[in-house]
Chain A
Amino acid sequence: MTAFFYRKPKLRLGFLLSPPLLWLGLAYLGALAALFVTAFWHTDSFTGQVVVEWSMDNFKTLFTDAVYRTITFRTVGIAALVTVIDAVIAFPMAYAMAKLASSRAQRILVIAIMTPLWASYLVKAYAWRSMLSGNGALSWLSPGYGVTATIITLSYLWLPYMILPIYAGLDRLPDSLVDASGDLGARSFRTFRSVILPLTFPAIVAGSIFTFSLSLGDYIAVKIVGGTSQMLGNVVYDNIGAANNLPFAATVATVPVVIMLAYLAAVRRTGALDNL
């Protein structure tokens, strides 16, 4: 039988590809399509049942009501800021890990960076809530609960996801290139700007996919430390839960999806997807 398969590579490919493709393509994409189809319908607000009448009303509300634009800009802004903050903090840390630490130390350091990822996202957010509260350990910073607190907390939560790809990228960077650059007379900053940064850029972008995507859709951390602030995730969650308005939730959900798809398309060319 295997000989039969060997002679027919296409059949082998089909066999290998079908289950995952069916699962992801039919089940997942199908579910997504079904969800976004409801964006064209609406809910009867009294009975809460979905009425199958086609219209663009939901999208009209999304585009004309200023509050959704505000929330979108706020969310994208937070996600971008978190990404930049994490990149800036992660890079020196990853560099020290990749280039300065011994091989054994590297392994320990990677474990040290990865262990907190197991420490329940919720508990970490809650720890920040109590630290930033009126009588908490960091109350002297007094940002209160709000957008600043959200940015701090999200940056903290996603930092390991930024450190690890950059570390992997720097690890792959041959030391000889850095040395050569120094030999040619470049100072550290020039070396960084012209040699290290361009070569590790795909890795940085790979990390940014996570920090950006996780921040874009987050609603739990902002509920815990965000005070009165709302992000896109909250609007979707409130519409699905409290308002029982699936069509409108789907409409709002198109915003982060479109943004992420655009982001993925843009970064594909940088080769970041291979660095995940």
Chain B
Amino acid sequence: MRKLLWAALGLGLAVIYFPLAVVLLDSFNADTTFGWPPSEFTLEWWSRAASNEGALNALWTSVQAGLAATAIALVLGTMAAFALQRYRFFGRNPVSLLIILPIALPGIVTGIALNNAFRTILGIDLGLLTAVIAHATFCIVVVFNNVVARLRRMGGNLEEASMDLGATGFTTFRLVTFPMLRSALLAGGLLAFALSFDEIIVTTFTLGTGMETLPIWIYNNLFRPNQAPIVNVVAALLIVASTVPVYLAQRLSGDTASGGRL
């Protein structure tokens, strides 16, 4: 039985990583049509990728959007987490459903709803800010979940004790609550950033017309013969570079064992 389970795990991991290995190999493939198996290897795509303006601009846009959206989500998610975890009030369940909604509803619905709201109702042009607003909306739940899990474990006693000892609310938050929350916030923030970074559907509908985030750049260049190899390089880089934040997020949220997309 144990052997079977280990085998299942091994096989599963192999299946998960096989296409990624193909992508990694193809980024060195000299043949632009990606014939399989690759006959020649080259580093040319990697050097071209480093100077590819489109990819670098897209990367910068993605980073900006991700950071901004994460910042907003951190604030709003923490506030909501405190509200729902520490207080009982009527409508608690609908509110928690509301927080989950942006991520539970199909991305295209969120995308066209926000697009319609920005362009037709508010009459503003799409740009980076509109995309940030959209991303923040579905990132709130990521932070919310992490903070709620941490608050559940924390209890309120330490804060009460701190205030009994004479600290003001703000000092308590600064010296007692925040340090305990810090790792949950970091974990939530990293996951929110990851979510925003790889998001494409909502972004397509809310980003300004000339701009590209990395996923959109990939989508636009996926089929172009001259750019497709560079896309492979970008993808390979993402896989390799992402191990660091993933590891960090794991370390920080280790005790909450937060699972899933959140």
* Residues of A that sit less than 8 Å from B by CB: 1-3, 5-6, 9, 13, 16-17, 19-21, 23-25, 27-32, 34-35, 38, 89-90, 92-93, 95-97, 100, 107, 109-124, 126-128, 130-131, 135-137, 156, 159-161, 163-169, 171-172, 188, 203, 206-207, 209-210, 213-214, 216-220, 233, 236-237, 240, 246, 249-250, 253, 256-257, 260, 264, 268, 273, 275-276
Contacts A17-B80, A20-B79 given: A107-B8 contact, CB under 8 Å?
no
Set of chain B residues within 8 Å of A29, measured between Cβ atoms = 98
Asked if B87 contacts A9 (CB within 8 A), the reply is yes
Which of A31, A89, A233, A264 interacts with B106 by CB under 8 Å?
A233
Asked if B8 contacts A96 (CB within 8 A), the reply is yes
- The CA of A161 and the CA of B104, in the complex, are separated in Å by 13
- Output the nearest chain B residue to A126 by Cβ-Cβ distance: B222
Set of chain B residues within 8 Å of A111, measured between Cβ atoms = 243, 246-247, 250
B23 at the binding interface (Cβ < 8 Å): yes
Asked if B239 contacts A115 (CB within 8 A), the reply is yes
Contacts A17-B83, A276-B260 given: A93-B100 contact, CB under 8 Å?
no
* Residues of B that sit less than 8 Å from A by CB: 1-2, 4-6, 8-9, 12-13, 15-17, 19-20, 22-23, 34-36, 75-77, 79-80, 82-83, 87, 89, 93, 95-110, 112-114, 116-117, 121, 133, 136-137, 140, 145, 163, 168-170, 194, 197-198, 200-201, 214-215, 218-219, 222, 231-232, 234-235, 238-239, 241-243, 245-247, 249-251, 254, 257-262
Distance in Å from the Cβ of A242 to the closest Cβ of chain B? 14
Asked if A257 contacts B137 (CB within 8 A), the reply is no
Asked if A233 contacts B89 (CB within 8 A), the reply is no
Distance in Å from the Cβ of B249 to the closest Cβ of chain A? 8
Set of chain A residues within 8 Å of B2, measured between Cβ atoms = 100
Contacts A20-B79, A34-B121, A256-B109 given: A127-B137 contact, CB under 8 Å?
no
Asked if A168 contacts B259 (CB within 8 A), the reply is yes
- The CA of A249 and the CA of B112, in the complex, are separated in Å by 9
Set of chain A residues within 8 Å of B116, measured between Cβ atoms = 31, 34-35, 38, 246
Contacts A120-B198, A166-B259, A250-B112 given: A20-B222 contact, CB under 8 Å?
no
Set of chain A residues within 8 Å of B251, measured between Cβ atoms = 107
Distance in Å from the Cβ of B227 to the closest Cβ of chain A? 13
Asked if B102 contacts A246 (CB within 8 A), the reply is no
Which of A25, A136, A203, A219 interacts with B36 by CB under 8 Å?
A136
Asked if B242 contacts A115 (CB within 8 A), the reply is yes
- The CA of A153 and the CA of B44, in the complex, are separated in Å by 30
Distance in Å from the Cβ of A142 to the closest Cβ of chain B? 15
Which of A114, A127, A159, A257 interacts with B22 by CB under 8 Å?
A127
Which of B6, B75, B194, B200 interacts with A96 by CB under 8 Å?
B6
Among A24, A128, A130, A250, residue most surrounded by chain B Cβ atoms (within 10 Å)? A24
Among B23, B83, B112, residue most surrounded by chain A Cβ atoms (within 10 Å)? B112
